[in-house]
Amino acid sequence: MRIIRDAEEGRRTLLSRRPLENDELPMDVRETIFRTFGAELSPDEVVRRIIRDVREDRDNAVRYYNGRIDGAQAQELRVTPEEIRAAYDAVSSELVDALKFAAERVRRYHELQLRGATLDFNQNGLGQITRPIQRVGLYIPGTRAPLPSTVIMCAVPARVAGVDELYMTSPILPDGSVPAVKLVAADIAGVDGVFKGGGAQGIAAFAYGTETFPRVDKICGPGGLFVTIAKKQVFGDVGIDAIYGPTETMVIADESADPELVAADLIAQAEHDMIASPILLTPSHYLADEVDRALTRQLAKLERQKIARAAIDNRGGCILVNDIDHAIELANEYAPEHLCLLVENPTAYASKVRNCGGLFLGEGSAEALGDYTAGPSHTMPTGGSARWSGPLSVRDFLKAMAVVNIPEMDTEELARMAAIIARAEGLGGHAAAAERRLRGR
């Protein structure tokens, strides 16, 4: 692990985010693009063509790109009830129980959240009505790493919010199936239908509808580069929750922290993918060196050692800071997805944190628990977007409607003032419509 001993250097390097689109595509991805389109295209161009084709050829285009890009074929694009029932036979009862446990924790948390999210009111003829979004599509990535936890973390808040129709799409395995554990998680979380479409074609199918895919009002959920670009390109025709990038974890630790736990928390995020960002901020030279040694020991035993090591080498490391307040200052600038305070009396520092997706206080509140069983959704803002947004929540599945029901005694004054402003704007029709409400007109 690289250890940066100057905070300004840390700002310029480790804390200076590189746009994901600037990274060169891996050779196998470039070869797939050329084989599929007969040309070397940028990711933006690839997504634009896929969206165009799905809008024109609908199911056939989804099947085509499932095969050409994902190497998987499925004639039927909607998962059948029989497939879902069979999925339970392929998943251990222990895992089913764990998923139910997680779903219940997530449900209870978001039921509490819902109490503060529905702010209906009516006063003097002015009010607000909150309504759930009618039809939502969830994109859930992963086949080799199928991410049933992400199904729960996206679907349960939607169900708590009261979404009428909740659907999910997923990339498929070579045999044309959705991973069984994903189907079990979707069933437990109350998803109404599961579809077979990965990448940009899955996003386009939900955005515009096909013979099989329903057209939804909003698309939620994380994904890789092509999913992220697709969400950007369809936004406006359909709502989206946010733009999610590679995972980020920032650990702030002092000399009281256990270096083995610090290392374990960094590795837990580093193993997601090679462009994850596992970052340690500490004022302790001793802790930095001990964590470095602990990383070496723990990585040697890790199944996903190659991925985690690449993430630590590419986008991870340690910055030595003056003190914990200095570390929090840097964290607020960086606005990480996850911020873990492994310090003495962490709650004393919580009020100083302004920008992060999730705040994890103390060694017993490991971010890995947040990924699975704590309660808040683990779908959190990345890329610095924690400066203006938060985790996926029931609010993402609700919308407010303004209600105007002016009492008759207030109409004249409002109309007179409105007409003055309208004429100042040169909008005579607006002014006339207001003035017709005046007595004697």
Straight-line distance from the first to the last Cα atom of the chain, in angstroms, rounded to the nearest whole number: 78
**Per annotation, catalytic residue among 338, 363, 367, 378:** 338
Structure tokens at 268: 């837990």
DSSP state of 418: H
Which three-class secondary structure state does DSSP give residue 308? helix
**Per annotation, catalytic residue among 248, 271, 290, 337:** 337
**Residue that the structure tokens 């085509």 belong to:** 64
Angstrom distance (rounded) from CA 135 to CA 343: 44
Which three-class secondary structure state does DSSP give residue 392? coil
Q: How many other C-beta atoms can be found within 10 angstroms of the C-beta atom of residue 312?
A: 26
337 is catalytic: yes
In sign, the C-alpha dihedral spanning 203, 194, 390, 270 is negative
| 27 phi/psi in degrees, rounded to 5 | -60, -40
Side-chain-side CA neighbours of residue 259 (13 Å): 18
What are the helix (H) ranges across 38-147? Answer: 43-57, 59-70, 81-90, 93-117
Q: Give Cβ neighbours of residue 29 (< 8 Å, ≥ 6 apart).
A: none
Angstrom distance (rounded) from CA 181 to CA 422: 59
Pairing type for strands 398-404 and 126-132 reads: antiparallel
Structure tokens at 375: 């309660």
Picking from 397, 291, 278, the residue whose alpha carbon sits closest to that of residue 337 is: 278
Burial 6-44 (b: 16+ CB within 10 A, else e): ebeebeeebbebeebeeeebeeebeebbeebeeeebebe
Residues with active-site annotation? 337-338
